[in-house]
Amino acid sequence: MPAIVLVGAQWGDEGKGKATDLMGSGVDFVVKFNGGNNAGHTIVIDGEKYALHLLPSGILTPSCTPVIGNGVVIDLEVLFREIDGLEARGVSTSKLVVSANAHVIAPYNRTLDRVTERFLGARKIGTTGRGIGPTYADKMSRNGIRVQDLFDRHILEQKVEAALRFKNQVLSKIYNRRAIPAGEVMDELLRYADRLAPMVADTSLLLEQALNDGANVLLEAGQATLLDVDHGTYPYVTSSSATAGGACTGSGIPPTRVSRVIAVLKAYTTRVGEGPFPTELFDESGEFLRKTGWEYGTTTGRPRRCGWMDTVIGRYATRINGVTDFVVTKLDVLTGLDTVPICVAYEVDGVRHDEMPVNQSDFHHAKPIYEVMDGWWEDISGCRTFAELPANAQAYVLRVEELIGARISAIGVGPERDAIISRHPLLD
Ligand code: GDP
Ligand code: IMO
Ligand code: MG
């Protein structure tokens, strides 16, 4: 069977967790392929709320095997806190498999993430402070610590000492922080090694066998297209590949196996942290979206910046990811507005841009060109077919679909698992 990729189309928090959960029992394996505990996915099942950070969203479906792929960076303390929290609520985590090649977030990288941000002051990125950037930097500069290193004490000691030789100089001499003793790092890294050992596998091989056996494999992104380190609003991005291309490198599944790419698109736009955001609203409309959509970060609790739907970004996501299907979420949040603007293009210094400007400086001062649609007042949270939606809500969805250039196969009308309108099946 082929593999399916699921990504975020905007700046994250589109409702990827819910979309993954939605496919639930139709999927045999859910693989997290990038990011770490900077992600926060809220899933609501029968009124029970689950906030997942490191674990793939498939963990809430008993028949599904959750996999943490090689492209992920793991904070072991957070992983086991999340596992214990779910087990205490009766959710089994016994099927979890973790790639031997995934990297581990060492305590010095958490510290470096936070002190670097403080040092940058007004030029900060607004990271989640979880050590994500420094850990991926170590991976690329070949100083990283991998899951498999935890089981070879000699190698681990060598790697920690080599890393600290440099990191402690930076911490103490540049940031005026205390140097971190190697013993402290070793203790933290080895604390969970015995519990982790039985979960560790060659996940690429496991997934290849699963696909050969006819299993459905879903590759689930953390973050989103515009937070991707290559294709996002650099440097205001995360440090991993959050787009469809990253699904292959982050899981060890070749591109020839992927048959479908599903992108999750919120019916409006949000962003956490710094960086450009053309349709951002600073008035009561922005406040309306924040309050009605409950736009506060799952991971850091920060209020999310809110703005109207930007279909230039939607088209960009279609192109970069090769999107075959969109899941539009939170359409219910737009209920009660007289008019609903859709950004169709930008104006930069008097020039119209229908695509993302080549130079990011232009994107920083791009002015949205809006097409204004009529709003609707009817409560749509109980709608389960497209035909049940008010005519103006239907018109909004159809116009967005036309502008983003790929079909909208499902529409979210509430946070609950079943609050969804299906237009085309997401699984073959
Ligand atoms: P993720 O990081 O992409 O998984 O998204 P988050 O979980 O951070 O944020 C999405 C939020 O929207 C969560 O609180 C979800 O419960 C909620 N949500 C998802 N889909 C819908 C929807 O269709 N309507 C409403 N009202 N809420 C939704
Ligand atoms: P999910 O998976 C929204 C943002 C941070 C910051 C930037 C870099 O829930 O959609 P990092 O800690 O990754 O180095 O921070 O990326 N960011 C997210 N924003 N949703 C996320 O994940 C995010 N993960 C990182 O706010 O601007
Ligand atoms: Mg989130």
Rounded percentage of the chain residues whose pLDDT exceeds 90: 96
The total domain count for the chain is: 3
Ligand 1: residues with CB < 6 A are 8, 12-18, 39-42, 44, 298, 329-330, 332-333, 412-415, 419
Question: What is the reported pLDDT for 51?
Answer: 94
Question: What is the reported pLDDT for 54?
Answer: 97
- According to DSSP, residue 304 is labeled P
Ligand 3 centroid to Cα of residue 40, in Å, is 4
Mean pLDDT score, 336-346: 98
Mean pLDDT score, 299-323: 95
Domain contains 428:
no
Domain contains 209:
yes
Nearest protein Cα to ligand 2, atom 20: 12
Domain contains 55:
yes
Mean pLDDT score, 156-174: 96
CA–CA dist 287, 307 (Å, integer): 10
Contact 10, 317 (CB under 8 A): yes
Residues 164 and 252 in one domain: no
Residues 256 and 362 in one domain: no
**Quick one: pLDDT band at residue 207, thresholds 50, 70, 90?**
very high
Residues 256 and 284 in one domain: no
Q: Pick from 321, 263, 258, 324: which is nearest to 1 by CA?
A: 258
Statement: residue 12 has pLDDT above 90: yes
Residues 27 and 91 in one domain: yes
Question: Considering 262, 277, 299, which residue would you say is the last residue of a domain?
Answer: 262
Provide the b/e sequence for 99-136 (b: ≥16 CB within 10 Å): bbbbbbbbbbbbbbbbbbbeeeeeeebebbbbbbbbbb
Domain contains 427:
no
Look up the CATH number of the domain holding residue 270: 3.90.170.10
Statement: residue 60 has pLDDT above 80: yes
CA distance to 35, 56, 189, per residue, from 192 (Å) = 20, 19, 7
Q: Where are the alpha helices (DSSP H) in 106-235?
A: 107-120, 132-140, 153-169, 182-191, 193-196, 203-212
Question: Considering 234, 262, 290, which residue would you say is the last residue of a domain?
Answer: 262
Look up the CATH number of the domain holding residue 137: 1.10.300.10
Mean pLDDT score, 145-156: 97
Residue 228 contacts by C-beta under 8 Å, 6 or more apart in sequence? 237, 238, 240, 241, 242, 243, 246, 320
Mean pLDDT score, 300-324: 96
Query: In this structure, what token pair is assigned to residue 327?
Result: 């899941």
Residues 218 and 69 in one domain: yes
Statement: residue 306 has pLDDT above 90: yes
Work out the mean pLDDT of the chain and round it to a whole number: 96
CA–CA dist 381, 379 (Å, integer): 6
Residues 108 and 95 in one domain: no
Question: Considering 231, 262, 293, which residue would you say is the last residue of a domain?
Answer: 262
Residues 147 and 276 in one domain: no
Residue 241 contacts by C-beta under 8 Å, 6 or more apart in sequence? 34, 71, 228, 229, 230, 249, 250
Q: Pick from 247, 248, 230: which is nearest to 238 by CA?
A: 230
Residues 10 and 83 in one domain: yes
CA distance to 61, 101, 185, 195, 369, per residue, from 39 (Å) = 19, 20, 24, 23, 31
Domain contains 223:
yes
Mean pLDDT score, 228-235: 98
Question: What is the reported pLDDT for 164?
Answer: 97
Question: What is the reported pLDDT for 301?
Answer: 86
Question: What is the reported pLDDT for 299?
Answer: 78
**Model pLDDT for residues 78-136, shown as the tens digit of each residue:** 999 999 999 999 999 999 999 999 999 999 999 999 999 999 999 999 999 999 999 99
**Does 41 qualify as catalytic in the annotation?**
yes
Mean pLDDT score, 158-172: 97
Statement: residue 297 has pLDDT above 90: no
Q: Give the length of the chain.
A: 428
Contact 31, 218 (CB under 8 A): yes
Ligand 1 centroid to Cα of residue 326, in Å, is 15
**Does 13 qualify as catalytic in the annotation?**
yes
**Quick one: pLDDT band at residue 292, thresholds 50, 70, 90?**
very high
Residues 286 and 387 in one domain: yes
**Model pLDDT for residues 19-40, shown as the tens digit of each residue:** 998 887 899 999 999 999 999 9
Question: What is the reported pLDDT for 101?
Answer: 98
Residues 52 and 136 in one domain: no
CA–CA dist 242, 222 (Å, integer): 6
Ligand 1 centroid to Cα of residue 270, in Å, is 11
Domain contains 245:
yes
Residues 131 and 79 in one domain: no
Look up the CATH number of the domain holding residue 217: 3.40.440.10
Higher pLDDT among residues 25 and 322, named by residue: 322
Q: Which residues pair with 104 in a beta bridge?
A: 74
Ligand 3 centroid to Cα of residue 37, in Å, is 10
Task: Determine the residue of 329, 383, 416 to mutate for testing ligand 1's pocket, defined as the one with the most ligand atoms within 8 A of the Cβ atom.
Answer: 329
Question: What is the reported pLDDT for 25?
Answer: 81
Statement: residue 285 has pLDDT above 80: yes
What's the domain range around 186?
103-194
Question: What is the reported pLDDT for 192?
Answer: 95
Is the C-beta atom of 273 inside 6 A of ligand 2?
A: yes
Domain contains 337:
yes
Domain contains 150:
yes
Statement: residue 1 has pLDDT above 80: no
Residues 349 and 416 in one domain: yes
Question: What is the reported pLDDT for 195?
Answer: 97
